[in-house]
Chain A
Amino acid sequence: MDKAIQLERLAKTYGRRRGLVDLTLDVGRGEVFGFLGPNGAGKSTTIRLLLDLIRPSGGRAVVLGLDPRRDAVELHRRTGYLAGDFTVDGRQTVRECLAFLAALRGGVPERRVTALAERLGLELAPRIRSLSKGNRQKLGLVQAFMHEPELLVLDEPTSGLDPLVQQVFLDLVREARAEGRTVFMSSHVMSEVQAVADRVAIIREGRLVTVDTVSSLRERAVRTVELHFDGPAPAGEFEGLPGVTDVVAEGPRLRCRIAGSPDALVKAAARHTVTGLLCEEPDLEELFFAYYRNGGGDDRVTDA
């Protein structure tokens, strides 16, 4: 079994409302997998299906080689889960809550728990009711990581965390990968996924839009290119080149957006004297929004 998660035409409807439509997806063991989509895309639905909190209305899921429904207890033993709206009983203290959850898992070394809490800057003494949102989220992270599970399923793990703690979280994910564990994390924020994920899936309105490695998504990404000429920028020659859009000329400066191969652009520029060239590293955020806007992957370029 080299797949941590296998989804085959997994579907979920809530009454007549769409939740998820025919999602087919594989996540390999030891992979860090980013799961991206806008609000209401179906990320939490997918994640809750993986954990048998809700049942599919079609298709099937195999997680760690197990059937989430039949082998729920075994699966949960080997999984760490952080819910999108992580909730605990506010009457417990942090320590009490972690002790209880650890006991449900048959015990977790206390050293590991306190070390995790310390790294994230989570105090153990306060009552949970009195914690801020970010501190509550830290508690959620500690309980998900503390038993060093084979599979981590994290629904918007960084929501509410300050940038410093987000970095600690990313370190935790990298360490998990280094130890061969699998991480499946959802997010709206491309940058955090980009920083750690091997592959990324984008879903929208319950449907899978694309699955790809971060590096090839980056290749397909739209970049902004800025060229400086020794005379007025010949904007006309660049309009209509394959993959080139949004051409703006301002004196000797020309800005445009390029998707895919920059070959045609470079050859067009070579006919003039180029005094400066600036190519912005594509931000997947941009790609992400391009997918949102157009509702599809490959027709994006021609639509834009």
Chain B
Amino acid sequence: MTASRMPEAPEAARTPEAPEALPHGRLPRTVWSQALRDNRRALAGWTAGTALAGAMYASFYPQIGGSMGDLTRSFPEGLRQAFHMEDLSSAAGYLGSTPFGLVVPLLALFHGAAAGARAVAGDEESGYLDLLLAHPVGRVRLVLQRYAALATGSAAVAGGVLLMMLAVRGPADLGGIPVTAFAAQCLNLALFGAFFGALALCIGCFVGRRGTVFGATAAVGVLSYAANALGPLVGLGWTRRFSAFHYYIGGDPLRNGFQWAHAGVLAAVCAVLVLLGAWAFRRRDIGV
């Protein structure tokens, strides 16, 4: 995390009283940097937890990979596809199943949903936004900077996972997966978390109730998982297209490297959600 070294805020540079002005030194000065700073402990926890969960699964590969591969070969094709278990004996196939197919993205999803619910709705309910919005910070700017902090956090979580994977790559016999493939998967992971963050932020910009926002976002997460994994099982292959999970792992980045189209879709949807949220937030009453 880079929360403690912040770029100069443009307004600080304009200040005539800069030499004796608060804050000095390395204190953060923008809504973005302050949000990162306030959340630094939580973010460190999410990053470490997600990376460790990934590492734990990865380290089982040498023992489990081969035998699970034999076992699941007898499962029906559809089931194996649904749970990304087509090819558990290869490193990419194993990692694409439970670790990167379920556990790690689920953690990223909840990180995004929790951070997104807090970014607007949570601080609105607590009354903190009253204070910030009575300062010369436009509502749109607040939403954008808060989202930038959230996206930075999501990138930190994915970055932590990537570093951890590169660290265990050798010991866990994962050398068959190129570094760029890990990077591709983790890029998608960052965007995947950022998507659920954007969704939560957007809902929060409309309703401003943290519990509602978190619940709704988590529900969309579960439905997305179902649409991607289970839809095709019951002959509804088209449902995948509406699932964030599909854009996250459908292109199998661990095998095929960067999937720019899928990453682009996730990024574009994030942008749309955030702008939609900012638009709604500008129009409504705060804290009623």
Contacts and interface: CB of A to CB of B under 8 A. Distances in A.
Interface in A52-89: 52-55, 72-74, 76-77, 79, 81, 83, 85-89
Contacts of A105: 135-136
Given A87-B130, A111-B20, A76 B38 contact: no
Nearest to B285: A54
A109 interface: yes
Nearest to B286: A53
Contacts of B20: 109-111
A289 interface: no
B137 A73 contact: yes
A278 interface: no
A83 B38 contact: no
Given A14-B288, A108-B22, A76 B135 contact: yes
Contacts of A209: none
Nearest to B10: A106
Contact of B14 (A14, A79, A106, A110): A106
Contacts of A73: 136-138
B134 A107 contact: no
A104 B145 CA distance: 13
A104 B285 CA distance: 22
Given A55-B285, A89-B38, A99-B27, A107 B17 contact: yes
A100 B137 contact: no
Interface stretch (A24-32, A90-98, A165-173, A225-233): A90-98
B127 A87 contact: yes
A269 interface: no
B131 A87 contact: yes
A103 B23 contact: yes
Contacts of A109: 17, 20-22
A299 to B, nearest CB: 34
B287 A104 contact: no
Interface in A233-266: none
B154 interface: no
Contacts, number: 114
A239 B115 CA distance: 70
Contacts of B284: 55
A103 B136 contact: no
Nearest to A77: B136
A99 B136 CA distance: 15
Contacts of A107: 11-12, 15, 17-18, 21-22
Contacts of B285: 53-55
Interface string B162-206: 000000000000000000000000000000000000000000000
Interface string B136-147: 111100000000
Interface string B101-141: 00000000000000000000001001110111111111100
Given A14-B288, A109-B20, A113-B22, A100 B128 contact: no
B134 A53 contact: yes
Contacts of B128: 87-89
Contacts of B22: 98-99, 102-103, 107-110, 113
Contacts of B30: 103
Interface in B49-89: none
A100 B36 CA distance: 13
19 contacts: A52-B133, A53-B287, A73-B137, A83-B130, A83-B134, A86-B127, A86-B131, A89-B38, A89-B128, A91-B41, A100-B34, A101-B131, A102-B21, A102-B22, A103-B12, A103-B29, A107-B11, A109-B20, A109-B21
